[in-house]
A = this chain, B = another copy of it.
Amino acid sequence: MKVTISDIAKMAGVAKSTVSRYLNGGYVSETTKLKLDKIIADTKYEPNSFAQSLKAKKTNLIGAIIPRFDSYATSRMLIGIDESLKELGYQILVANTSQKLEREIENIYSLANQKAAGIILLAKQITKEHIEAAKAVDLPILIAGQEDEEFHSLVYGDAQSGYDIGKYVAKCGHTNICYIGVTEEDVAVGVKRKEGFRKAIEEEGIENVSYYESSFSIEGAYTVATSIIKENPATVYVCATDNIALGTMKAIHHHGLKIPEDISVTGFGDYDVADIIDPSLTTIHYPYKTAGGTAANKIVRMIQGEDVERLTTIPCYLVERKSVRRRK
């Protein structure tokens, strides 16, 4: 049978409240402390967390709301969050939304109901429902991956990354460029990266640039790239994510063209595969795992009521590999 605080108290010949105090670091005499040490070790007593939470009205749970499990960026961030949270004495509770926006909202409420101490939301998009839910639950919420003035957030240097890639392809002598982006609903990936890129290109005085839009999937990118190859003589395809770059590379290969001799390709993210495929992919390194750790630290500081900077920007950097041809 499961042992409870009453059992322990009885065995030690003290009151439940004394045991509780012992457990929570309160005042207990040395002798009863010793006695309790032994009894608790012997019985392997573990407090019932439901009873604790019911009474204390708080937990050490931190919810992580994620759009999907099978995303490189998400899983890497989750590792960072999980590891850091564990060190800080918190536990992660992962809620997957399968990319359904309404499920993000539901999860905010249900995590609040489960008395989560805080929430890290890996968001693709912030809507008014998000803001409403956040106000209603009145819980520390940290948005990761997107910026929003209503929330504390952690973002990557997307604009700078786009700028760096733009400068790089220009430096390599490319003057006919194709940019394969994503929906502008995703501000970080769809807007910031593109804007940074555009800025660099304009500074370089390059005019021959066309913009396309793809879904986030490899297959979607494959389809888009296939049609671009047929109609556009660009010498480099700048892709808004590594996944898009992968689909694009596949399409180029399937057309019997060579990378980077015929067409150059770049990505954003630096997934593991970027260094494995042939040719290896020139891309921007996004330190997802580290960022997850930073997010964990930030939410914990928010929970502890510290005065936390609203916006944290995680710097990224270019990794030059073999997928871009130097034309000069």
Contact = CB atoms under 8 A, between A and B. Distances in A.
A12 interface: no
Interface stretch (A91-99, A157-165, A197-205): A91-99
Interface string A250-283: 1001000000000000000000110011100000
Contacts of A246: 273, 276
Contact of A79 (B48, B53, B68): B68
Interface stretch (A16-24, A69-77, A175-183): A69-77
A222 to B, nearest CB: 9
Nearest to A259: B278
Contact of A278 (B78, B83, B278): B278
A34 interface: no
A48 B70 CA distance: 32
Contact of A218 (B68, B98, B276): B276
A29 interface: no
A83 to B, nearest CB: 7
Contacts of A276: 218, 246-247, 249-250, 277
A79 B70 contact: yes
9 contacts: A49-B113, A50-B54, A69-B79, A69-B82, A70-B72, A79-B98, A92-B94, A93-B93, A246-B273
Given A48-B113, A70-B72, 6 more contacts: A69-B76, A70-B76, A79-B96, A79-B98, A249-B278, A273-B273
